[in-house]
């Protein structure tokens, strides 16, 4: 989370600082309407900066993923930038429209305008002629962005509606780029602020066009076909195996990919539950019915169906130098640990030498129970030499930090890898932090929420 905060607040601080350098007397303006003009410029710059960065991150670029800690963290930053863009856009709109309302109600007196200085620059003259159009279309684009971002943030709105409408933000963004280019104070464009904003708007424009052309992640897509499906009724879980004959670059245990079959559903992220073998070229995915589109997967998916797989993504890859690791898989969050155990088992078979790997303790807490699924989990743990603790909530009660520390006396020297409900992960992180664990370096958690 640290890098997310640095990226978000650092971007805002940079833009605000460059604005002050470009217009150092802006906050010393005499009179309300002079201040209003400055605030309209500042909030507009911050809003378009947030939206531009969010648009770029929507492409799922490779370069910031490692620094941010995975695509899940990148999407969290994308969400923060979207909220930031919304807040600054609303503030920008209020600064723009509020004084007009106040004048209409007689609360403020509009200042008398003197003659405008002649404009010699042809570009500035042209932009001045476009101000009315830019203000009009910008206002309607603002209303559209507010509605579309609210749709994205309200979780009870079905994913299919979110997927079909979220792309429209790219259209509204392109309109707002025109609005920003025309209405940004012309003198800013020759300053460092103008150069940065020009780059952000250009970059965001390219990103918006790629989004509209459905080219997000195009360079990481491969074709596959479903070769098997197995349903666990007690867990309401569907396990599917996909054959990818060519193109898959391989993945690390703990990573995930986007799958798309039906174009109307769009791509959805799933953690990969298998190690990669080029000879077998197959991936396993496990999906739980969670009340949205996942409840229809069992009826929609069929053996032989072609699918598109995009990835791999994610940094929950179990890489550290601690003498032992503690894994916690809550419910369907067990998936990355299955992949890691299969990878460890394969390594043990290929290199059965005397090397001493990390000692691993896996805690699987589940509200639902399937003898068949747990038997497979136990077999994977045995093959990987992993200590397995299965806790069925109804039978064993809930898993807590205290129970983990009692089972693993050397927990202070271990790293913790968590995948499961966010609230459960936050509680464990806080609990271990209160007992002295350096959670910033030792507690690894995937924020598996893409909206």
Instruction: Write out pLDDT tens, residues 346-392.
Output: 888 777 654 557 899 999 999 989 999 999 999 999 999 999 999 99
219-313, CATH topology level: Elongation Factor Tu (Ef-tu); domain 3 (2.40.30)
Range in 248-257, 270-279, 291-300 the model is least confident about: 291-300
Architecture of the domain made up of 2-112+119-212 = Up-down Bundle (1.20)
Q: Which of 434, 428, 441 is nearest to 365 (CA)?
A: 428
The whole-number pLDDT of residue 451 equals: 60
Whether 272 has a pLDDT exceeding 90, the answer reads: yes
The whole-number pLDDT of residue 437 equals: 95
Instruction: Write out pLDDT tens, residues 300-351.
Output: 778 999 999 999 998 889 999 999 999 999 988 999 999 999 999 988 877 7
324-445, CATH topology level: Rossmann fold (3.40.50)
Helices (H), 188-309: 192-212, 297-300
Whether 262 has a pLDDT exceeding 90, the answer reads: no
Mean predicted confidence (pLDDT) in 269-285: 91
Residues linked to residue 282 through DSSP beta bridges, in sequence order: 243
Average model confidence (pLDDT) for the chain? 90
The whole-number pLDDT of residue 383 equals: 94
The whole-number pLDDT of residue 118 equals: 74
**Residue 38 pLDDT grade (very low, low, confident, very high; cuts 50, 70, 90):** very high
415, 320 Cβ separation under 8 angstroms: yes
Whether 403 has a pLDDT exceeding 90, the answer reads: yes
81, 7 Cβ separation under 8 angstroms: no
The whole-number pLDDT of residue 356 equals: 56
List, edge to edge, every strand of the sheet that includes 443-445.
387-392, 359-366, 324-330, 414-419, 443-445
Q: Which of 365, 308, 354, 306 is nearest to 331 (CA)?
A: 365
* Domain extent listing, the chain: 2-112+119-212, 219-313, 324-445
Mean predicted confidence (pLDDT) in 215-227: 94
Mean predicted confidence (pLDDT) in 399-428: 95
**Residue 94 pLDDT grade (very low, low, confident, very high; cuts 50, 70, 90):** very high
In which element (H, E) is residue 376 found? helix 371-384
The whole-number pLDDT of residue 348 equals: 82
Distance, in Å, from the CA atom of 93 to the CA atom of 87, rounded to the nearest integer, reads: 10
The sign of the dihedral angle between the CA atoms of 140, 146, 152, 154 is: negative
Instruction: Write out pLDDT tens, residues 130-163.
Output: 999 999 999 999 999 999 999 998 888 877 788 8
**Residue 267 pLDDT grade (very low, low, confident, very high; cuts 50, 70, 90):** confident
The whole-number pLDDT of residue 77 equals: 95
């Amino acid at each position: 989370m640290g890098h997310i905060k640095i990226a978000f607040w650092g971007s805002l601080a940079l833009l605000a600082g460059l604005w002050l350098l470009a217009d150092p007397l802006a906050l010393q303006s005499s009179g309300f309407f002079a201040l209003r003009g400055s605030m309209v410029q500042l909030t507009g710059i911050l809003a378009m900066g947030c939206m531009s960065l969010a648009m770029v991150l929507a492409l799922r670029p490779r370069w910031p993923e490692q620094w941010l800690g995975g695509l899940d963290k990148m999407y969290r930053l994308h969400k923060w930038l979207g909220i930031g863009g919304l807040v600054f856009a609303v503030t920008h709109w209020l600064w723009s429209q509020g004084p007009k309302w106040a004048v209409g109600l007689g609360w403020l007196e509009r200042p008398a305008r003197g003659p405008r200085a002649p404009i010699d620059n042809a570009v500035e003259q042209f932009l001045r002629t476009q101000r009315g159009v830019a203000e009009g279309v910008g206002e309607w684009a603002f209303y559209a962005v507010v509605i579309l971002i609210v749709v994205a943030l309200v979780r009870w709105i079905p994913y299919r509606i979110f997927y079909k409408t979220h792309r429209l933000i790219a259209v509204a963004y392109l309109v707002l780029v025109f609005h920003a280019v025309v209405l940004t104070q012309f003198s800013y464009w020759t300053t460092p602020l103008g150069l940065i904003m020009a780059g952000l708007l250009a970059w965001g424009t390219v990103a918006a066009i790629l989004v509209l052309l459905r080219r997000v992640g195009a360079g990481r897509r491969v074709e596959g076909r479903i070769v098997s499906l197995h349903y666990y009724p007690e867990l309401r879980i569907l396990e599917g195996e996909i054959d990818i004959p060519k193109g898959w670059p391989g993945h690390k245990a703990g990573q995930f990919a986007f799958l798309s079959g039906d174009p109307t559903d769009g791509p959805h992220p799933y953690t990969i539950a298998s190690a990669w073998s080029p000879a077998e070229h197959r991936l396993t995915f496990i999906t739980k019915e969670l009340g949205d589109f996942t409840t229809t997967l069992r009826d929609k998916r069929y053996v032989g169906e072609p699918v598109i797989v995009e990835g791999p993504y994610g940094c929950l890859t179990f890489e550290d130098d601690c003498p032992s690791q503690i894994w916690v898989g809550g419910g369907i969050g067990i998936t990355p640990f299955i992949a890691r155990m299969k990878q460890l088992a394969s390594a043990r078979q290929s290199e059965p030498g005397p090397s001493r790997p990390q000692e691993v303790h896996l805690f699987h807490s589940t509200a639902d129970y399937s003898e068949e699924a747990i038997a497979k989990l136990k077999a994977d743990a045995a093959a990987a030499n992993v200590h397995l603790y299965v806790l069925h909530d109804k039978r064993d009660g809930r898993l807590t930090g205290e129970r983990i520390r009692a089972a693993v006396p050397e927990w202070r020297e271990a790293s913790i890898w968590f995948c499961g409900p966010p609230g459960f992960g936050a509680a464990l992180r806080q609990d271990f932090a209160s007992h002295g664990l350096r959670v910033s370096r030792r507690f690894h958690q995937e924020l598996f929420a893409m909206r």
